Amino acid sequence: MSLVLYDTWTRGLRLFEPLVPGQVGLYCCGPTVYDYAHIGNLRTFIFEDVLRRVLQSNGYNVRHIVNITDVGHLTSDADEGEDKMEKGSRLSGLPAAVIAQRYTEAFQEDWRRLNLLEPTLWCRATEHIVEQIDFIRVLEAKGFTYRTADGIYFDTTRQDSYGYLARLDTQGLRAGARVSTGEKRSPTDFALWKFSPKNSTRQMEWDSPWGIGFPGWHIECSAMSAKYLGSWFDIHCGGEDHISVHHSNEIAQGEACHGTRPANFWMHGYFLTLQSTKMSKSAGDCLRLQSLTDRGLCPLAYRYLCLTAHYRSTLRFSEAALASASTALSRLRKAYASYPQGGNVNPQFEQRFQGEVNQDLNLPRALSVTWALIKSNVSTADKRATLASFDQVLGLDLAREQRDELPAPTNVAALIDQRRQARREKNWALADQLRDRLLENGWVITDDSIRD
C-alpha cells in the first residue's frame, strides 16, 4: 500500500519513496534543554513518533536521530539576546552543564511516559563542536561567510533560493528592514559562530579558527544530520515554527556545503495552543506532562488527545477535550482487556486502518476505524489481535493495566475487598460478577494482585 506524506518543501502531498530501498533516515529537531518541555513541544514529538511508527508499519527500517540543543539557541531566533542555557544558569544559580543534564533527563522521562520509541541515537550539540567547526570551515572556504565584531555569519544573499521552504519574500524583507541588523549585511543572515563576550567568560565556550566562542543553533543540526544520516537523507521534521528560520537556515547551509538541501521531505507539526495563544516556554504559560499526571491522568491520555487532531492542524488545548481523551483511552483498554487471546488480525479492518494512516498520517480517521472495529461483529479474539496490531501505530499501550497508573478510587477499593471476601468464601460466582463490575470501571484484576 502506498504511503503519501505532506512535504512543506513542495507544499503538497507526495508519494513517499525512500532514497535507499527499505531504509529511512529521519532527523527530528530535539529540545532546547534549559527548562522542562511543555505539552506543546511534546505534541511535536508525538507526531514524529507516529510518523516513525507508520514508516515501520510500511516495512521500513527507520534510522531516527534526535538532537539535544544544549548550547547556542539564543532567546531570539534572529541571533540576538542571551544563550538560553546561560540564561537558565544565571536564573537558577546552577552550572549550565547541570541544567542541561537535568532537563535532558526530564525530557527523556516524558519521552518514555508517552511511549515514544527510543531514537536510534540522541546527539548533543556540545559533543559535536569539532563537526560544527569543520562544517563552518567548508562554508568559509566556499565564500559563504563573513566576519563581524560578534561572530562569523552566513551570507544569505549568495543564494537566490534562500528561504524557499518558507516562501520568504527575501527582497521585501531586505528592502523593508527597519530594525537595525547591527553589522549583519542582510536581515536574513545568521550566525555560524558567536564570539564570547569580551569582558566575561561564558560557561560554554570553545576555541576555534575564528576565536573563542560557541556555535550558532542552526549549524548543529546541519553538522549532526550530515554526520549520522549523510548529506541527503529522507525526512527532516520539527514544529511549524522551524519553517521560516531554523530549517530555512539548515537548508541554506546544506546547499552551500553539499550542493543539496539536506532532506527529501520536510514535515512540520502544527502547534498546540492554550487559550488561543501559542504555548511557549519563555512566555512561562506552559503546562508540563507532569502537571497532568499529578492529577491522576495517564500520560497516554495526552497522547490520545494528540491523535484526535491531524498533525497539520492547530490543536487548542482544553481540559474538557483531555478528559474525554482519558475516558476514551480507558474504554479502549477495558475493551482490549475483556477480549480473549488467540485470535487473528482482521484483514479488512487492518487494510482500512493502514489506508488512513498512509494518507498523510490521518490518525483521527484511524481512531474512527479503531472504534468501528470495537463495535463490529468481528469475533472478540480477532478484535484483540487487530487492536494489538493497530497499537503498533497508535502507541497507546492498550495492554497496560489501569491499576498501574491510577490510585484505586474508594468504590473500586470496596469492590476489590468484596471480591477478596467472596473468594475466601469460595463464592466463585459472586467473585466473577465483581470482577466484571471492576472491568466495567476500567480495572483489570488478576488474581495475583489480590492474593492474601
CB of 26 to Zn ion, least distance (A): 13
Residue window 207-246: x/- pattern of binding to ligand AMP, with contact defined by CB under 6 A: -------------------------------xx-xx----
Site for Zn ion in 221-250 (CB under 5 A): 221
Q: Output the smallest distance, CB 48 to ligand AMP, in A.
A: 8
* Chain residue whose CB lies nearest ligand AMP: 239
Nearer to ligand AMP, 103 or 339 (CB): 103
Exposure string (b/e) for 81-120, b if CB count within 10 Å is 16 or more?
eebbbbbbbeeeeeebeebbebbbebbbebbebbbbeebb
Number of residues that bind Zn ion (CB under 5 A): 2
Q: Residues with Cβ < 8 Å from 394, sequence gap 6 or more?
A: 307, 363, 366, 367, 370
- Choice from 18, 40, 163, 215 touching ligand AMP (CB under 6 A): 40
The least CB distance from residue 392 to ligand AMP, in Å, is 24
Which residues inside 55-94 make contact with ligand AMP, applying CB under 6 A?
69
Residue 442 interacting entry, from Zn ion, ligand AMP, none, C-beta within 5 to 8 Å by type = none
Determine how β-strand 233-239 pairs with β-strand 263-269. Answer: parallel
Q: Evaluate the CA torsion angle 373, 376, 381, 382 in order and state its sign.
A: negative
For the window 22-51, what string marks contact with Zn ion as x by the rule CB under 5 A? -------x----------------------
Q: Which does 272 bind (CB under 5 to 8 A by kind): Zn ion, ligand AMP, none?
A: ligand AMP
170's contact among ligand AMP, Zn ion, none, with CB below 5 to 8 A by partner kind, is none
Segment interacting with ligand AMP (CB under 6 A) among 272-280, 346-354, 358-366, 390-398? 272-280
Q: Which does 279 bind (CB under 5 to 8 A by kind): ligand AMP, Zn ion, none?
A: ligand AMP
Coarse DSSP helix, strand, coil percentages of the chain, rounded to the nearest 5 percent: 45, 15, 35
Which of 218/333 has CB closer to Zn ion?
Answer: 218
Among 37-45, 178-186, 323-331, 442-450, which window interacts with ligand AMP (CB under 6 A)? 37-45
C-alpha separations of 164 from 5, 9, 237 in Å: 19, 8, 16
Phi and psi of 67, rounded to 5°?
Answer: -95, 160
Radius of gyration for the chain, computed over Cα atoms and rounded to the nearest angstrom: 25
Residue 221 interacting partner from ligand AMP, Zn ion, none (CB closer than 5 to 8 Å by kind) = Zn ion
Taking the CA of residue 329 as centre, how many other CA atoms within 13 Å lie in the half-sphere pointing to its CB?
29
Q: What is the footprint of Zn ion within residues 203-222 (CB under 5 A)?
A: 221
Among 152, 279, 394, 438, binds ligand AMP (CB under 6 A): 279
Exposed / middle / buried, residue 209 (Cβ in 10 Å: 0-12, 13-18, 19+): exposed
Contact 203, 95 (CB under 8 A): yes
Q: Residue 44 binds which one of ligand AMP, Zn ion, none, with CB within 5 to 8 A depending on kind?
A: ligand AMP
Q: Which of 396, 393, 445, 400 is nearest to 418 (CA)?
A: 445
Beta carbon of residue 354, minimum distance to ligand AMP (angstroms, whole number): 26
- How many Å apart are CA 409 and CA 96, to the nearest integer? 42
Q: Which residue has the cell 513517499?
A: 16
CA distances from 51 to 4, 237, 371 (A): 11, 10, 21
Whole-angstrom Cα distance, residue 384 to residue 190? 53
Smallest gap from Cβ 220 to ligand AMP, in A, equals 11
Which parts of this chain interact with ligand AMP (CB under 6 A)?
29, 31-32, 40-41, 43-44, 69, 238-239, 241-242, 269, 271-272, 278-279
Which parts of this chain interact with Zn ion (CB under 5 A)?
29, 221
